[in-house]
A and B are shown apart, each in its own frame.
Chain A
Amino acid sequence: MEKEAFFGNSTVINWQMRSPEAAASLPNMNSGHVNIVWDQTIDQSAKFGSALSSLVSSPSSNPPAAAGGGDSVVIRELIGRLGSICNSDEISAPSPHYQSANNSCYSTPMNSPPKLNLSIVPNPAHMPFSADPGFVERAARCSTFGCSGGGSHGGGQFMFPEVGKLGNAPEESCGSGNAKKRKAVMKGKGKEAPLSSSITAVTNPPKKASVGGLNAKRSKPSEKTGIEEESARQDGDAASKKMEEEKTAKPPEAVKDYIHVRARRGQATDSHSLAERVRREKISERMKLLQDLVPGCNKVTGKAVMLDEIINYVQLLQRQVEFLSMKLATVNPQLDFNMENFVNKDMEIHQNCGLLPPQPVYPLEVTASSFSFANLPERTPLISINGLELQSQVNPFSQPNLSRNLTMQLPPLEGFTDTACQLGTFWDDDLRTVVQMGFTQNQENLFSSQSFQGCSVTISHMEVEL
């Protein structure tokens, strides 16, 4: 109401006169800074541009929707004023335009914070401004996304005098762009509602109604696109291709700095929630890995249950290790002598030959089982694969017929040397199955060379399968 009276009789001069007074009279306005800016805007349109840019920088630093809305209101007003200054040949003309622009601005925050710029687009008041080259330049400047915190501060302060004129809920609605103040904005809405409606009734009812409907429809914009949308809307206002080009070039640069992961539509964009999202994705990834690893975990849904399953599995494995170690402690072995022998020999051999370390394993494993002759066939291919001195290794077992068999066996096994690695991997993976296979085959005829033949056949068979 007050505002209507104020702007109703306003010329530019009048406005210039009054605004500092208003700023001073406002209780919440304690900063001289605002006054200075205010004067500057009126005096020089060039400085106005810098103020604008600082204002525009505030939405980039303040993602929340409500804050963006508040700031965009400021921008809108500034653009309106800017235009009026640029077209300053007709002094009386801007005041009604300005008023209407203000009306739209104040009505919008309660409808939908970030979208409010839409309400101004149909407003004819801005059309002449966009034609002005100076305005285009300044608007382009205002699109710079500096992330200075001071910008947002200045923006908030700058708002006060004007909104203070309106009287009802000014500080909250325009407020500094903190998410905490969102609630305050909500409160402010209720107070503002009658005011804005009355204003719209006075100025241009049909347009307002349509705009209101539009905003109501789009009342839930995504937070992610808040900044970009804003800039896009500014484009629409200025309606200059130059600006659009600049805009398209700029947002990626700003985004690159801190966003490593792109947020999808409807997701929060501040760094904390981004990091949290990354963490959650990582965790679910690992959960999937564990799901593959842990048997019987595929059917389970839900993280907690899965975690329990994983814990059970690990516990089971640990217990198994314990149990097996006990078993190994009890069972044992006259083998140790030979094993030790073998270890040493293998070490020497591998130092001499410069072979890769994993390979000594196989003879070793064989030694564990080597006291039964049944296991010999498994050893033979391995020895030949390693290309080591057969005799020295076989000697500890030193049954004459065995060594003879082995030497007999060697020529056919020579063919395996080229596939040593494959066989080696296979051996290690499938240690147990091979051993069992060997046993089953060798139990039939233990000492005959036929068993060796059979084993070599199986090994070649395995190789084919590999």
Chain B
Amino acid sequence: MKQNKNTSSNPNPRKASMQTYHFLRSLAHINLTTPLSALHRRSRAIRRAAYVSMARAASPRRMWTRAILGRLQLLRRGRLLRRQRSYKKKAISTPHDKLRRLVPGGEEMDFCRLLEETVDYAEFLSKQVRIMESVVVMEAESKKKEEKV
């Protein structure tokens, strides 16, 4: 019964599984490349991996996916501008603008589109949270088991 509910809430399981796939892959990559000592860097990398895996799994037509992936490209080229922050700060804080700042790529959208994107984005974000939680839980459990053994 519980399973049924979940399947109905998630209409496109393949996308979600792509998301997990991407995320775990990049997680493995991060684990390989960055050492445990560089905690801050690691957490940032993992967070970025989470967003990117979301964006990869979602439809490329969405603005937010394009925004995330575009930012990633900029980052890879080392051209992520410092100016962006100041630009964000000067925005006025009506609820619309708050939402605009939350959803990636939302600055250029009209309100109607923004809501549409928000729906999609929130779906994927909640999925991502579930995935990450499950990974955390699994790892905790595995540790316990190891200790027991």
Q: What residues of chain A have their CB less than 8 Å away from a CB belonging to chain B?
A: 279, 282-283, 286-287, 289-290, 293-294, 304, 307-308, 310-311, 313-315, 317-318, 320-322, 324-333, 335-336, 339-340, 343, 356-362, 364-365, 368-375, 424-426, 428-433, 435-436, 439, 462, 465-466
The answer to whether A361 and B129 touch across the interface, beta carbons within 8 angstroms, is: no
Whether A307 contacts B95 in the complex (CB less than 8 A), given A314-B118, A332-B139, comes out as yes
Given contacts A318-B102, A321-B129, A435-B137, contact A340 B28 (CB under 8 A): yes
Q: Is A324 a contact of B132 with CB atoms below 8 Å?
A: yes
Binding site for A on B (CB under 8 A): 1-4, 6-7, 9-10, 13-14, 16-18, 20-21, 24-25, 27-29, 31-32, 36, 39, 42-47, 49-51, 95-96, 98-99, 102-103, 111-112, 115-116, 118-119, 121-123, 125-126, 128-146, 149
**Known A322-B47, A428-B20; further 15 A-B contacts with Cβ < 8 A:** A283-B115, A286-B115, A293-B123, A314-B118, A314-B122, A321-B51, A321-B132, A324-B132, A332-B31, A335-B139, A339-B24, A358-B14, A358-B21, A424-B13, A465-B4
| Contacting residue for A317 out of B13, B46, B112, B126, CB 8 A | B126
Measured CB to CB, the nearest residue on chain B to A320 is B129
Give B20's nearest chain A residue, CB to CB: A361
Q: Are A371 and B95 in contact (CB under 8 A)?
A: no
* B146 A358 Cβ-Cβ under 8 A: no
Please name the 7 residue pairs, one residue from A and one from B, whose CB atoms are nearest each other, closest first. A372-B145, A336-B31, A369-B138, A358-B17, A329-B42, A286-B115, A425-B13
Given contacts A314-B118, A339-B31, contact A364 B21 (CB under 8 A): yes
* Contact in complex: B99, A328 (CB < 8 Å): no
Please report whether the interface of chain B is mostly helix, strand, loop or mixed according to DSSP: helix
Contacts of A360 on B, CB cut-off 8 Å?
21
A328, A343, A436 interface centre (most CB from chain B within 10 Å): A328
Q: Which residues of A sit under 8 angstroms from B99, Cβ to Cβ?
A: 307, 310-311, 314
Contact B145 A321 (CB under 8 A): no
Known: A315-B102, A465-B4. A439 touches B24 (CB 8 A): no
Q: What residues of A have a CB within 8 angstroms of the CB of B31 in the complex?
A: 332-333, 335-336, 339-340
Give the CA-CA distance A429 to B25 in the complex, in Å.
19
By a CB distance below 8 angstroms, the chain B residues around A325 are 43-44, 46-47, 49-50, 132
Is chain A's interface secondary structure helix, strand, loop, or mixed overall?
Answer: helix
Residue from A282, A290, A330 in contact with B39 in the complex, judged by beta carbons closer than 8 Å: A330
CA distance A411 to B54 in the complex (A): 37
CA distance A428 to B28 in the complex (A): 19
With A293-B123, A364-B21: A279-B112 Cβ-Cβ less than 8 Å:
yes
Give the docked Cα–Cα distance between A378 and B129 (Å).
22
Q: Please determine whether A331 and B43 come into contact, CB atoms closer than 8 angstroms.
A: no
Complex Cα spacing A335 to B18, Å = 21
Contact partner of B13 (CB less than 8 A), chosen from A318, A330, A428, is A428
- Most chain B CB atoms below 10 A, which of A369, A424, A433: A369
With known contacts A286-B119, A358-B21, A439–B141 Cβ distance under 8 A:
yes
Q: CB-CB < 8 A to A433: which residues of B?
A: 2-3
Q: Are B47 and A365 in contact (CB under 8 A)?
A: no
- Which of chain A's residues have a CB closer than 8 A to the CB of B146? 371-372
